[in-house]
Chains A and B, each alone.
Chain A
Amino acid sequence: MSDYKAVIGLEVHAELDTASKIYCGCTTAFGGEENTHVCPICLGLPGALPLLNRKVVEFCIKAGLALNCKINNYSRQDRKHYFYPDLPKSFQTSQLDLPICYDGYLDIEVNGQTKRIGITRIHIEEDAGKLIHGLTGTRVDYNRGATGLIEIVSEPDLTNPDEVYAYMETLRQVLLYTGVSNCKMEEGSLRCDVNVSIHREGEPFGVRTEMKNLNSLSAAKAAAAYEIKRQKQVLAEGGDLFQATLRWDDAKGINYVMRVKEHADEYYYFPEPDIMPIVITPEEVEAIRATLPELPKARQQRYKSQYGLSDYDANILTVSKALSDLFDQAVACEAPAKVCANFIMGDITRLLNEKALQPEEVPFGGKELAELANLISQGAISSSAGSKVVELLFQPEFAGKAPKAIVEEQNLGQVSDQGAIKAMCQQVIDANPKVVEDYRGGKKQAISALVGQVMKASKGKANPAMANQLLEELLNG
């Protein structure tokens, strides 16, 4: 019987969105010429003295509060020793037994079920540099080195790849809402290590493997799925599993062994003598708690209860904080919620994708969206004309223009003049005897083809509901 259950824990590294690095004033900007964002402190040259960036501590607390953690009143940094050229000091300044945050949780949703995933701890540490492997040697760029990170360690509460994906997605959303990290996975700002073991119910946990530095949600999910399958297969064939660090090859969809762990890692941690202890008072914690924004989950609830949006709409709308903010601003201007939601999930999202823009880059605000939504709900323009207006708003020459002005200028107003539409309907009926015959023969849905013809004849400006009604009258009369 192969009734093995998977036990999965994630360690997520998020680069913090501070202006400067964790111990020096070097910029954290992504890219830049190699080794130009570097100084003696972030290289750990002899005599250089690090000074902890206050914002790194504040961001860690903020992330911790958003993830329901407790905050250690007394915390400390420790040195974690290992030799690798991406770490110029031969130790990473991290935290061992006194992390800033501990004992939290994150609720995720999989297949409509809510599941609570424990957060063991969140600590601060420095990022490593970048190795560029060549044929003869390895080149090292320390621009990213010593950027402030938080490491978020989950309890081994995840049991399948879908939960891995949902956890990462939900966590990313929370971090984005709190603004502590830009979470750009393509730039390495958010990465995760996946720990997997399998065991039978009631038996002790199995041998654990670790896959490092997965840099997309889909890679994390695929890597977990592959590793669970691999471990089951090894055991099914009577083989032995061993503790190892594995590398996931996302292009090939396989993993391979980087290093077998014979002993537990020996990092010879000791308290960092150059960084003084971090003492956080309950007042400071409450002050940071007061700066927490409304989190995605709460927003979804509000969208459902206050505006009657569906689960689906509420989830999609809150994926991006920027788009969700746009929605909030629009409905605050007395706009119909559902129409605004449809614009954001439809035309706006489509245009952002087409133009490769970020959600933050929508070129107009909630006021414009509200005005547009009201034009539709009042019947002043058709929904296709509304799409046209959004498209124009995305063009530079229409930047800052009011939708009403665009509608007038482009003559997009809906024709609700009954006489004019009736004349068009008659023309369409005369020109499409076959469709009319179908309709009269009982194929009632044929009328939509005729409505389409009226819309085409009116260049999208006819009121479709009115066209439909007038066509019915003419055909049945």
Chain B
Amino acid sequence: MEITKETVLKVAGLAKLNLAEEEAQRLAHEMGKIVGFAGKLAEMDLEGVQPTTHAVKLENVFRADEMQPSYPREEILANGPERDEACFVVPKVVE
């Protein structure tokens, strides 16, 4: 299956990735091979087979509605690139 450079650039744009020309070219080729591999499934007769979304066959994995302590704020904020005394700080978002 062929993946064009335009498709790669569009997907990269949605994922906020900046790709150089040659990277896009190379990825188009590699992604084409990956998608082509998955395309083998199309050769099978899958009439009436439910799509698989999880590799393990588990259902209804729940927790009870119980409160647990949150993390100390200092520890939480330490993970952000920028912060003030109480919040994460990000570049100004224009609404």
Contacts and interface: CB of A to CB of B under 8 A. Distances in A.
A42 B66 CA distance: 15
B59 interface: yes
B68 A85 contact: no
B23 interface: no
**B contact face: mostly helix, strand, loop, or mixed:** loop
Contact of A53 (B65, B70, B71, B73): B65
Nearest to A26: B70
Contact of A76 (B53, B77, B79, B95): B53
A18 to B, nearest CB: 5
A276 B82 CA distance: 34
Given A137-B90, A271-B53, A54 B63 contact: yes
Contacts of B77: 35
A279 B70 contact: no
A137 B53 contact: no
A41 B71 CA distance: 10
B66 A25 contact: yes
A83 interface: yes
A209 interface: no
B49 interface: no
Contacts of B67: 19-20, 25-27
Interface in B48-81: 53-54, 56, 58-71, 73, 76-77, 79
Interface residues on A, range: 35 or more
A33 B73 contact: yes
Interface stretch (A128-136, A358-366, A445-453, A459-467): A128-136
Given A53-B65, A76-B53, A133-B95, A140 B86 contact: no
Contacts, number: 123
Contacts of A266: 14
A42 to B, nearest CB: 8
Interface in A36-84: 36-40, 43, 45, 51-57, 76, 81, 83-84
A312 interface: no
A158 B87 CA distance: 41
Nearest to A98: B53
Interface string A271-287: 10101111100000000
A247 interface: yes
9 contacts: A38-B70, A53-B64, A53-B65, A76-B53, A138-B89, A139-B84, A140-B90, A276-B59, A278-B59
Interface of B: 14, 16, 53-54, 56, 58-71, 73, 76-77, 79, 82, 84, 86-93, 95
> What 9 A-B pairs have minimum CB-CB distances, sorted nearest first?
A25-B68, A139-B87, A271-B53, A55-B65, A54-B62, A51-B63, A34-B86, A85-B90, A140-B88
